[in-house]
């Protein structure tokens, strides 16, 4: 079974703090993703990575950065947390689409509910 | 542009059949996914369609029409545990790596 784990289920931080959210997957997947999920807005892509040290901006990258030093680990960094970054953060991973394959299903971690006070 | 539309909420009773529709626009289609998400939990994969037609998997089926930019998820013999949000997602480009998600349809099943 694919397993994606996130470092914390719940996190409370103060405005201005630097926040690290860690994600680890054990399926040797090339691709990893960070989303945030807010009521009425659905899942929105923050950043994704298709290889070690590679990253691509998603729809809402402002205020965030990422790090992928090892294939299994993808970190989301809030450089200076703000109250509007209070949200549920979900990490996902997927294998790279290959010729003859018909799926690059994303598998999600349990999520981190971050509250910024 | 890229856009996904699905109804916000639906209600149904146990044992019934419900169809959740999804229409989409994307710059590079390479597949459509349905996920289920129970309250407070992560989304879990339900189905994947890349060719036109119906894919059946137990009580759940998913249909795709690429020419119409349309899909539906069909849930049969509804159970209380099917109360959840159902998310439609499509690939953003031909590489198929990243997805764009709809806002989800919250299904409430009552007895």
Cβ-proximal residues to A16 (8 Å cutoff; 6+ apart), any chain: A80, A81
- Tell me if B93 sits within 8 A of B6, measured CB to CB: no
Q: So what's the pLDDT on residue B31? A: 87
**pLDDT tens digits, residue range B27-84?**
777 789 999 999 989 999 999 998 999 999 899 999 999 999 999 999 999 999 999 9
User: Which residues of chain B make contact with A103, given a CB cutoff of 8 A?
Assistant: 31, 48, 50
Provide the number of CB pairs (under 8 Å) joining chain A to chain B: 56
**What's residue A101's pLDDT?**
53
Distances (CA, A) of B62 to A55, A74, B7: 32, 32, 16
Q: What are the pLDDT digits (tens) for A62-116? A: 999 999 999 999 999 999 999 999 999 999 999 876 654 555 788 999 999 999 9
Q: Does A54 touch chain B (CB under 8 A)?
A: no
CA distance A53 to chain B (A): 16
User: ∠B52-B56-B59 over CA atoms, to 5°?
Assistant: 145
Cβ–Cβ below 8 Å for A48 and B97: yes
- Residue B17, classified by CB atoms within 10 Å of its CB into exposed (0-12), middle (13-18) or buried (19+), is exposed
Q: Is it the case that residue B9 has pLDDT exceeding 80?
A: yes
Q: Is A109 exposed, middle or buried (0-12, 13-18, 19+ CB in 10 A)?
A: buried
* pLDDT at position A97: 63
Q: What is the pLDDT of residue B38?
A: 96
Answer whether A101 touches B (CB < 8 Å): no
Q: How far is B102 from chain A (nearest CA, A)?
A: 7
Determine contact: A38 vs chain B, CB below 8 A.
no
Q: What is the pLDDT of residues A32-69, one digit of tens each?
A: 999 999 998 999 999 999 889 999 999 999 999 999 99
Distance of CA B40 to the CA centre of its chain: 19
With beta carbons under 8 A apart, name residues in chain A contacting B97.
31, 48, 50, 94, 96-97, 104
Query: Do A53 and A69 touch, CB atoms closer than 8 A?
Result: yes
């Amino acid at each position: 079974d694919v397993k994606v784990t996130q470092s914390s289920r719940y996190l409370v931080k103060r405005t201005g703090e630097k926040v690290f959210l860690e994600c680890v997957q054990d399926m040797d997947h090339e691709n990893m993703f960070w989303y945030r999920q807010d009521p009425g807005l659905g899942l929105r892509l923050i950043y994704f990575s298709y290889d070690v040290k590679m990253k691509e901006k998603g729809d809402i990258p402002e205020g965030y950065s990422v790090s992928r030093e090892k294939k299994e680990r993808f970190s989301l960094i809030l450089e200076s947390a703000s109250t509007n970054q209070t949200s549920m953060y979900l990490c996902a991973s997927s294998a790279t689409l290959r010729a003859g394959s018909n799926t690059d299903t994303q598998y999600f971690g349990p999520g981190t509910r971050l509250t910024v006070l | 542009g890229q856009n996904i539309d699905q109804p916000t909420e639906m209600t149904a009773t146990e044992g019934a059949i419900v169809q959740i529709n999804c229409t989409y626009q994307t710059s590079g289609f390479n597949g459509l996914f349905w996920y289920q998400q129970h309250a407070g939990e992560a989304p879990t994969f339900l189905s994947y369609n890349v060719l036109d037609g119906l894919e059946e998997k137990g009580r759940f089926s998913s249909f795709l029409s690429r020419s119409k930019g349309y899909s539906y998820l069909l849930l049969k013999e509804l159970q209380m545990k099917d109360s959840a949000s159902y998310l439609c997602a499509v690939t953003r480009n031909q590489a198929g790596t990243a997805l764009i998600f709809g806002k989800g349809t919250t299904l409430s099943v009552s007895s």
